[in-house]
Amino acid sequence: MIGEATSSGGGGKDDSPAAVSGKKNKKPNYSRFTQQELPACKPILTPGWVITSFIVVGVVFIPIGLASLYASEHVVEIVERYDKDCIPPDYRNNSLHYIQTSETDKNCTMTINVPKLMKSPVFIYYELDNFYQNHRRYVKSRSDKQLRSKASEGKKNIAWKSDQEHKFGSDIYPKNFQNGSLIGGGKLNPSIPLSEQVDLIVWMRTAALPNFRKLYGKIEKDLQANTTITVTIENNYNTYSFGGKKKLVLSTTSWIGGKNSFLGRAYIAIGGLCLFLAVCFVFVYLLKPRPLGDPSYLSWNRNPSGQMN
Amino acid sequence: MDSQNPFEGEISLNRRKGENSVREVRHGSRGGDIELLGLSHKEIGDDDARLVYLNDPVKSNERYEFAGNSIRTSKYSVFSFLPRNLFRQFHRVAYIYFLIIAVLNQLPQLAVFGRGASIMPLAFVLSVTAVKDAYEDWRRHRSDRVENNRLAWVLVDDEFQQKKWKDIQVGEILKIQANETFPCDIVLLSTSEPTGVAFVQTVNLDGESNLKTRYAKQETISKIPEEEMINGLIKCERPNRNIYGFQANMEVEGKRLSLGPSNILLRGCELKNTAWAIGVAVYCGRETKAMLNSSGAPSKRSHLETRMNFETIILSLFLTLLCSIVSICAAVWLRHRKDELDILPFYRRKDFAHGAPQNFNYYGWGLEIIFTFLMSVIVFQIMIPISLYISMELVRVGQAYFMIRDMLLYDEESNSRFQCRSLNINEDLGQIKYVFSDKTGTLTENKMEFQCASIWGVDYSGGRTISRNDPVQVDGKILQPKMEVKVDPQLLELSRSGKDTKGAKHVHDFLLALAACNTIVPLVVDDTSDSPVKLLDYQGESPDEQALAYAAAAYGFMLTERTSGHIVINIQGERQRFNVLGLHEFDSDRKRMSVILGCPDKTVKVFVKGADTSMFSVIDRSLNTNIIHATEAHLQTYSSMGLRTLVFGIRELNNSEFEQWHLAFEAASTAIIGRAALLRKVANNVENSLTILGASAIEDKLQQGVPEAIESLRTAGIKAWVLTGDKQETAISIGYSSKLLTSKMTSIIINSNSKQSSRRSLEDALVTSKKLTITSGITHNTGASDAAAVNPVALIIDGTSLVHILDSELEELLFELATKCSVVLCCRVAPLQKAGIVALVKNRTRDMTLAIGDGANDVSMIQMADVGVGISGREGQQAVMASDFAMGQFRFLVPLLLVHGHWNYQRMGYMILYNFYRNAVFVLVLFWYVIFTSFTLTTAITEWSSMLYSIIYTALPTIVVGILDKDLSRRTLLKYPQLYGAGHRQEAYNTKLFWLTMIDTLWQSVAVFSIPLFAYWASSIDGSSIGDLWTLAVVILVNLHLAMDISRWSWITHAVIWGSIIATFICVTIIDAVPIFSGYWAIFHVAKTELFWLCLLAIVLAALIPRYVVKFLYQYYSPCDIQIAREAEKFRSPRELRNTKIETNPILGSPHR
């Protein structure tokens, strides 16, 4: 602390001989940085700037919205719920029993009518509703270690290549899968390595939301309108216990993804709002302008008694 | 640098000591400090004493182990660093919160995050601080080592040998050469001067650069330690931190001598103008007074931070609410499905894999809910913006960097930069409402100039045109006083005419009194040039005395030599020697000093000088009544001109009187018990029935730019109060010259002698002030403070009245009155009263107070105020040591408050709000997702991203903006001081803004969450991909939100904002490239889709539009002053800027470029 006092003891008389010799000039060096005078631009929200920005946003957003709405409209999507229909009538009141015994025949045949031309590739999804795949217990129970090791090509490319190559081992065989006494799902063929069990891989990519689809396969040819497709479903998975819905989805795709008009509408809404605001601001500006930077608007000038000068 | 003060306990001690050692420094040398300290001046008891055997360190140290002379300012050693540093760091509540969260997360049932991710933030912060502490400590170690290894001459085996400082022990005899520093506290035994005088410079200790005299005792002067053994015993008090006090006695050769503060040389001081000095070490190392005084700056807490803590509590309530919602919903969900839990495919309570079904990770309904609650605390932990506290510290360091380097705050004259001693209250500078200023040395330069004299009833103040510092030949040298003094030609004429005529005789005596009645040490400056003219420098503790001595020299009475026994005065070229038979030092009770001189004509005269009140009571009023009246009239005139006055008196002592005095004086000065009281009594006996000589008037020059600065502060809405020890007339005249008081003001003066009269005058004054404010016809109801400004009232009150008012129920009245006044001037106040006045305001309002002062008597006030500013001027370092900020000139207060204070406040206020928002928006996004995971706290955003969010993704921009952003330029702020009112009105941070921000936060989080939610509803999106989308969206959003509010975009700001966004992309990519994480490669898949980017764009726009619109409407249709000024800055013509330059120059002083 003595040292500190020495260095800060600037109070000495400059002309006493000891002080002059031992003192270095402490004047700060000038630089634009230390004086906080770096060149800078100072944006201010002027009416012109605000109105222009709203118009630009509106002009950009509405076409994007229309385009994505258009794309979404052109996606052909067939959704068939099969959990109800695939239970034989005598089990209707006891669906749980039906799904849990291994004695019943789970096979179920549905016919789907294609209403419109579906361009290839047509994706086949199964959709689950009210299924919390993102439930903490579920997420935590998966063990990446069990699944991991080395690689190969999959069923029609439905799984992520990266997953196949790095997450699911090719020399791991699903021997233990669903071997317990609680049955309620499909079985895996224990002789195929995990990395080729693409359905499993797809399934193991945890869905983000409780209502989700999983890709099952692709149809690599166009489906003409009014074609009838017959699907044989093995109704294995138990959704009855929690009132979940199971659906089969056939869908084409577009640049915007599947059939979802939300984004298009959102863009149109935002764009429209911006244009509306722009118009409002123009009116307001014309009706009640304020000169920018007029000192007479300063509080002490508006209210001269407030301050004394 | 330390925000946490390890010496917390010592501070209060220090403060008490500071008050005790406070002295009236203005008029004379200090005296009677010991008596001030302890009323009962007791003999040092054996138990309390430290026994030091001269030249016998072994014996001295055998009973107690006195501290060695090695010092240690470092806090840690290599081994103790880790535990001690961690212990210190965990004193902060914030870190404990971090720790608890991290520990909770280690419980297997609650492990939301991986171990690494949960410890990382804490580890990061701890290690950054530890590295900083370690570096600082290493520097301290290094300086300690240098200090400890310095060499000193120590008597070993009858020979002076060089020894390292750290090896010096108590009891050893040391020899110090000229210009060397004392290694420890030493009792002086002998010096190179035959009289035993040593001159020391105490600049390192208290900042006073003038030389002080220290004396060796007569009995030891002649001893030469190398040749004859000195045996003796010093009995001294225990080590203490009072640098102006020392009590001891010494037994040498059977005689008992008493030792006082004038016999001790303190560590850190330097020996000057004395070839060598020999002494015995009494206190060493950490027990020296210098080390005992080295405590850190006081730690204060900023107003903004205190307010912020309140909002933090709201946030933690909010956090509790969120967690409760989650756990209640989870409880309802579990209850609702309690029959299904075993078979739900995603729940599976029972483990069927191994024979009999058992509960798997299920602890029952109640516990599950508690766990959910705790887990949600972990997940939502950053709701409490702990990182904000660390960011704030970094920001303050950055702000301090720029304040220190600001050229406007550099004082060329004293070569001192601005100092930030406390790093906690930068932003308080932007909200100061009251400035309490000392006068002398703060408003004025404390550089005294002799102006007028009234001698024997004649006023010599005309025609001060000639400046003189004529060289005079003395002993073959030509001496020239260092300072020029303007002289009155008439008086000069008279002074040269000898002392034959009656008038000339009085002039002679008066000038002799000026030259002799002081404690000035004349020093011939040894410059290397061969010029025969040597400069004569008068060193003294009081600037008044210096001014008087220079004045005497200018009139031909040049003091050229002083030893302890005599002085030599060159009177009109004739060398005359006067024996100094006795000197009664100045003390604050007598308010005068006297010197008893044996003149060359064998007469003995007592010369007395002192304050007018005290002098007129000891001047024989029956003699020369006309002269006394004339002098009084002159004094009145001088005072009204703002000059400081002193009155001089003389009396010739006849033989019997002298003998009587001499005996009493000898007895008193060798007394061990109550010496000062005895001396005072002796002084009072001799200082009476004086003949008046005249009076002197000294100008205390105003510092440069003070009137302009006060004007600016007043326009800024800051109330300036001046607290001074000077008398009322002087104070008022300084008030006028500094524009504190203006002719427009009505003055209310309160001088009362009793409580009753004080009450009466206060009540009258209150009525008057009310009347004044009402008659001025106030139509607006903006409060009392504005009303006062309409028809300004100045309150002038003196110390005597304050004695009756402070600490009584009258305080309330005074406060009420004072707040109605635009200026308050307190004169004749004691140091403690200064603190009392500050407390009066501080305790009754929420307004911020600032105290500024330069002297030891301002210490209490500086420590009491919210912000203490020390002037690192001429009067020592105590005020600076006690202050939070220190600077060279009073006028720097204007740029400090109006510019830096404003910036700091705006930046910090915005930063707090922004940090609240930034963390809350992220937490809310997490929270919304929890609803879609059946309340089980799965996060889509990876744990690493949530940890890195406040450390990497968004940390830097807010810190940089907090340091660099400027809402207005320096020029504008100085042009319109009223802009400072933004701080008074708390525009940058208030409850309304907090809630508005929170509403905005809510909307933004909804936008961020819901757009991807709907866009990806019933799609094959996986958790990690949508999580990455949310992460990026939030980060881009909060950075753009910040970008929208930045006022100045320099390249640094650009780099930081866009850099942060890019860094986030990189981090997210890296996290997704690690195969063991569940989100492996997610970003690569999702970034390929157009939907992802469209979502991102839509989120940012949708989230920011409401804020944008509101901000624009508010700025355009209800603009605050800052907004208008900013527009003016940008759009108004440069013509106005030119005007500004002219206006601001006086405040800024000369541009230092």
Q: Which pLDDT value is given to residue B310?
A: 86
Q: Which pLDDT value is given to residue B902?
A: 95
Q: Which pLDDT value is given to residue B119?
A: 81
Is B746 marked as binding a ligand?
Answer: no
Which ranges of B464-533 would DSSP assign to H, the alpha helix? Answer: 489-496, 502-516
Closest CA to B579 of B588, B567, B571: B567
Gap between the Cα atoms of A168 and A146, Å rounded: 9
**A residues 162-221 closer than 8 Å to B (CB):** 162-163, 166-167, 179-182, 184-185, 205-215
Q: In chain A, whose CA is at the least distance from the CA of B1104?
A: A270
Q: Which pLDDT value is given to residue A186?
A: 46
- Pick the residue with more confidence: B225 or A263? A263
Q: Which pLDDT value is given to residue B469?
A: 67
pLDDT band per the 50, 70, 90 thresholds, residue B704: confident
Most confident of A192-196, B370-374, B457-461: B370-374
Once rounded to an integer, what is the mean pLDDT over residues B124-129?
81
Q: Which pLDDT value is given to residue A258?
A: 83
Once rounded to an integer, what is the mean pLDDT over residues B950-969?
91
The beta strands (E) that lie in chain A are given as 77-81, 107-113, 122-128, 212-219, 228-234, 246-251
Residue A173: pLDDT over 50: no
Q: Which pLDDT value is given to residue B139?
A: 84
Chain B residues inside the 8 Å CB shell of A40: 1048-1050, 1053
A61, two tokens:
């957003």
Residue A154: helix, strand or coil by DSSP? coil
Residue B101: pLDDT over 90: no
Q: Are A222 and A118 in contact (CB under 8 A)?
A: yes
Q: Decide if A116 touches B, using CB distance below 8 A.
A: no
SS (H, E, C) B1126-1149: HHHHHHCCHHHHHHHHHHHHHHHC
B732, two tokens:
């008022």
- Pick the residue with more confidence: B470 or A276? A276
Gap between the Cα atoms of B855 and B875, Å rounded: 6
Residue B54: helix, strand or coil by DSSP? coil
Q: Decide if B715 touches A, using CB distance below 8 A.
A: yes
Contact B1080 A132 (CB under 8 A): no
Residue B786: pLDDT over 50: no
Give which of B943, B1124, B1131, B1150 to mutate to test A binding, by max A Cβ within 10 Å.
Answer: B1124
pLDDT band per the 50, 70, 90 thresholds, residue A279: very high
Gap between the Cα atoms of B862 and B877, Å rounded: 13
Chain A residues inside the 8 Å CB shell of B968: none
Gap between the Cα atoms of B106 and B126, Å rounded: 19
Q: In chain A, whose CA is at the least distance from the CA of B1123?
A: A293
Segment B728-745, tens digit of pLDDT = 777 887 888 888 888 788
pLDDT band per the 50, 70, 90 thresholds, residue B1014: very high
Q: Which pLDDT value is given to residue A145?
A: 58
Is B235 marked as binding a ligand?
Answer: no
Task: Give the contacts of B457 (CB within 8 A, at least 6 positions apart).
Answer: B624, B626, B627, B630, B631, B694
Least confident of B61-65, B894-898, B976-980, B994-998: B61-65
- Pick the residue with more confidence: B842 or A141? B842
Residue B274: pLDDT over 50: yes
Q: Which pLDDT value is given to residue B47?
A: 65
Contact B1153 A30 (CB under 8 A): yes
Percent of chain A predicted with pLDDT > 70: 70
Tell me the whole-structure pTM to 2 decimals. Answer: 0.79
Gap between the Cα atoms of B1135 and B1062, Å rounded: 43
- Pick the residue with more confidence: A99 or B720? B720
Gap between the Cα atoms of B827 and B728, Å rounded: 6
Segment B37-49, tens digit of pLDDT = 333 344 555 666 7
The residues facing B521 across adjacent strands are B539
Calculate the average pLDDT of chain B.
Answer: 81
Once rounded to an integer, what is the mean pLDDT over residues B488-508?
80
Give which of B208, B361, B415, B1077 to mutate to test A binding, by max A Cβ within 10 Å.
Answer: B415
Least confident of A193-202, B15-24, B366-375, B490-499: B15-24
Q: Which pLDDT value is given to residue A62?
A: 96
Q: Which pLDDT value is given to residue A14?
A: 35
Is B828 marked as binding a ligand?
Answer: yes
**All structural domains of chain A with their residue ranges:** 45-75+256-289, 77-131+211-252, 135-175+188-206
Q: Are B446 and B698 in contact (CB under 8 A)?
A: no
Segment B1027-1040, tens digit of pLDDT = 999 999 999 999 99
Q: Which pLDDT value is given to residue A295?
A: 81
Segment B116-125, tens digit of pLDDT = 777 877 888 7
Q: Which pLDDT value is given to residue A30?
A: 86
User: How many contiguous H segments (helices) and E segments (strands) does chain A have?
Assistant: 10, 6
- Distances in whole angstroms, Cα of residue B978 to Cα of each of B92, B619, B783, B849, B971: 38, 53, 17, 18, 13
Q: How many CA atoms lie within 13 A of B80 on its CB side?
A: 7
State the smallest CA–CA distance between residue B749 and chain A in angstroms. Answer: 22
SS (H, E, C) B69-117: CCCCCCCCCCCCHHHHHHHHHCCCHHHHHHHHHHHHHHCHHHCCCCHHH
State the smallest CA–CA distance between residue B566 and chain A in angstroms. Answer: 25
Q: In chain A, whose CA is at the least distance from the CA of B1051?
A: A40
Q: In chain A, whose CA is at the least distance from the CA of B350?
A: A182
Contact A215 B1020 (CB under 8 A): yes
Once rounded to an integer, what is the mean pLDDT over residues B355-363?
67
Give which of A241, A253, A259, A274 to mutate to test B binding, by max B Cβ within 10 Å.
Answer: A241
Q: Are B851 and B835 in contact (CB under 8 A)?
A: no
Most confident of A67-76, A292-301, B97-106: A67-76
Catalytic residue check, B438: yes
State the smallest CA–CA distance between residue B579 and chain A in angstroms. Answer: 29
Q: Which pLDDT value is given to residue A172?
A: 45
Is B17 marked as binding a ligand?
Answer: no
Least confident of B243-252, B685-694, B705-714, B841-850: B243-252
Q: Which of B33, B56, B406, B438 is catalytic?
A: B438
Gap between the Cα atoms of A218 and A121, Å rounded: 6
Segment B202-213, tens digit of pLDDT = 766 665 566 777
Q: Which pLDDT value is given to residue B855?
A: 75
